[in-house]
Amino acid sequence: MELLRVKELSPEDSPVGAGGAGWCAQLVIGLQFWLSYDGDPLHGQKWQEGSATVFPLLEERKFDERNSAGLPAAVPDARANHLKTLSVPQGQFALARYPRLKAVALRAWDAADEYLLQRLAEEQLPGATASVLVLNDGFGALCVALARHRPQLLSDSHLAQQGALQNFRNNDLDPAGLRLLNSLQEPDGKTDLLLVKIPKRLAFLEDQLYRIRPHLHARAQILGAGMVKDIHNSTLQLFERIIGPTSTSLAKKRARLVFCQFDGGNDPGKSPYPTEYRLENSSYRLCNHANVFSRESLDIGTRLFLDHIAASEAPRRIADLGCGNGVIGIVAAERNPAAELFFVDESFMAVDSARANFAAAFGAQRKARFQVGDGLADVEQDSFDLVLNNPPFHRERALDEGAPGRMFEQSEAALKGGGELWVVGNRHLNHHAKLKRLFGKCETVASNRKFVVLKAVKG
Ligand SMILES: C[S@@+](CC[C@H](N)C(=O)[O-])C[C@H]1O[C@@H](n2cnc3c(N)ncnc32)[C@H](O)[C@@H]1O
């Protein structure tokens, strides 16, 4: 975005012509704009008019010197260097990311979490008996800070759930006090306080709001939080259309809050998810839940990969690692009729889509295994002949930069001697170097302008 702004100042684009003085003046104005630009797509728009929204309180509660879990306001175990201290009105909490990154020590929360917790404290929320539902808490920062209220955490991410449990333990909180729900499950009872960390995929937010609406009390308090770059008009329109009147806070440390009021008379209709598309050059129709990678059509990297999946009559064990809707494993199963397939993804919606798509493609006779988990971390070592992997290439959850490297290490452990790991990836990601380091050798099987297909064989 920032580079774009500077480019907008080129002499060709200048309304005063290409003269040096005019161009320089524009450059100065442009640089000032660039330096002051806050990356906020809602800057000065109508949604901010409601920033003074006042919430009626369900119940009042005073904050004392203890954190919300009833512990003294001190960090129990921040000495370990991967833990960082979150200081909010609810207390101080020692938090770590999950999975732990080897090299970088990043925080397990963001400014939107802090802003939201601050706001809750100002509004004296939640009330003592309020039922609290948190959506998409990245590493459990919100749930840990609100642990006293025994929140339910609803998330599509296995890693996020594990992160929340780990952070409960890091703060000497009983993980039994956290009820974990996956994105396809319904919360228990009706919700008094709904906290939504805004996810990156708009379709996923839409689906979540449809699913949650029937579980809201008429006077439920609904607050969203996210970084300004992730909150657009379209985000707010979703809240307004599906739940009720919506406004936002002012931006603070590049974070923003969303305030929404439940409108019982509103009828948003039915959720459009899951959706499906027909896989090109096949009769397969692929069903996709809202949070599935490349939900609307075949990804172009995956397309190159599919062209190179080998056929064999051997009874091989094949893993589709990071399976998404299962398209890679389904094509591999078709070309390897005697193979046993294993599908794994850290997204509940992905694995559910893959399971449905495999069943629709092959019927009940052909068995396969499906797992929600951290890649191949939990599989038996030396047990696979072939691992197929299109690793995540941008930070889906903004959180797991180490995923491709971890997936390659897991594959190396899970493969039998002579077993093969095939990877498709964007050229610039340089997976080649990582694979060579791990396997000793890495061959380029195919490439086009953007993608490469790589093969590494376990010695
Ligand atoms: C680039 S997508 C590929 C999806 C599918 N294989 C395709 O080609 O359409 C990467 C997938 O990896 C999954 N993923 C990310 N981290 C993971 C992890 N630690 N364990 C398992 N799956 C993971 C994501 O949820 C996503 O579905």
Distance of CA 404 to the CA centre of its chain: 15
Ligand 1 atom 11 nearest Cα: 322
CB of 67 closer than 6 A to ligand 1? no
Rounded distance from Cα 325 to ligand 1 centre (Å): 9
Strand order in the sheet with 152-155: 179-182, 152-155, 132-135, 191-197, 216-227, 255-261, 246-248
What angle separates helix 348-362 from helix 327-335, to the nearest 10 degrees?
A: 30
CB of 187 closer than 6 A to ligand 1? no
Question: How many Cβ atoms from other residues are within 10 Å of residue 400's Cβ?
Answer: 22
CB of 403 closer than 6 A to ligand 1? yes
Rounded distance from Cα 199 to ligand 1 centre (Å): 16
CB of 299 closer than 6 A to ligand 1? yes
Ligand 1 atom 3 nearest Cα: 390
What per-residue confidence (pLDDT) applies to 106? 85
CB of 117 closer than 6 A to ligand 1? no
| Torsion of Cα atoms, 430 then 431 then 437 then 441, to 10° | -100
Domains of the chain: 3-81 (no CATH), 111-260 (3.40.50.150), 275-457 (3.40.50.150)
What per-residue confidence (pLDDT) applies to 104? 63
What per-residue confidence (pLDDT) applies to 383? 98
- Which H or E run contains 360? helix 348-362
For residues 88 and 113, give the distance between their C-alpha atoms in angstroms, rounded to a whole number.
10
CB of 423 closer than 6 A to ligand 1? no
What per-residue confidence (pLDDT) applies to 102? 67
Question: How many Cβ atoms from other residues are within 10 Å of residue 180's Cβ?
Answer: 17
Ligand 1 atom 17 nearest Cα: 346
CB of 328 closer than 6 A to ligand 1? yes
For residues 75 and 373, give the distance between their C-alpha atoms in angstroms, rounded to a whole number.
30
Left if phi > 0, otherwise alpha if psi is -120 to 50, otherwise beta: which for 312? beta
For residues 114 and 100, give the distance between their C-alpha atoms in angstroms, rounded to a whole number.
21
Ligand 1 atom 10 nearest Cα: 392
CB of 163 closer than 6 A to ligand 1? no
Ligand 1 atom 19 nearest Cα: 374
Contact 390, 426 (CB under 8 A): no
**Residues in CB range of 389: below 8 A, 6 or more apart:** 321, 322, 407, 408, 411, 421, 422, 423, 424
CB of 91 closer than 6 A to ligand 1? no
Rounded distance from Cα 326 to ligand 1 centre (Å): 10
What per-residue confidence (pLDDT) applies to 78? 46
> In which residue are the tokens 């920032």 written?
2
Beta pairing, strands 415-426 & 152-155: unpaired
Rounded distance from Cα 321 to ligand 1 centre (Å): 7
CA atoms within 13 A on the CB side of 448: 11
pTM of the model: 0.86
Rounded distance from Cα 119 to ligand 1 centre (Å): 35
For residues 21 and 25, give the distance between their C-alpha atoms in angstroms, rounded to a whole number.
6
Rounded distance from Cα 62 to ligand 1 centre (Å): 44
For residues 168 and 156, give the distance between their C-alpha atoms in angstroms, rounded to a whole number.
19
For residues 125 and 137, give the distance between their C-alpha atoms in angstroms, rounded to a whole number.
18
Rounded distance from Cα 327 to ligand 1 centre (Å): 12
For residues 387 and 418, give the distance between their C-alpha atoms in angstroms, rounded to a whole number.
12
CB of 392 closer than 6 A to ligand 1? yes
Return the SS3 of 153.
Answer: strand
DSSP for 103-134 reads: S----SS-HHHHHHHHHHHHTT-S-TT--EEE
Tokens standing for 102? 């080897």
Tokens standing for 227? 């970084």
**Residues in CB range of 245: below 8 A, 6 or more apart:** 260, 261, 263
Rounded distance from Cα 256 to ligand 1 centre (Å): 29
For residues 9 and 13, give the distance between their C-alpha atoms in angstroms, rounded to a whole number.
6
Pick out the chain residues at pLDDT < 70. Answer: 1-39, 44, 46-81, 102-104, 394-400
CA atoms within 13 A on the CB side of 21: 0
What per-residue confidence (pLDDT) applies to 343? 98
What per-residue confidence (pLDDT) applies to 393? 80
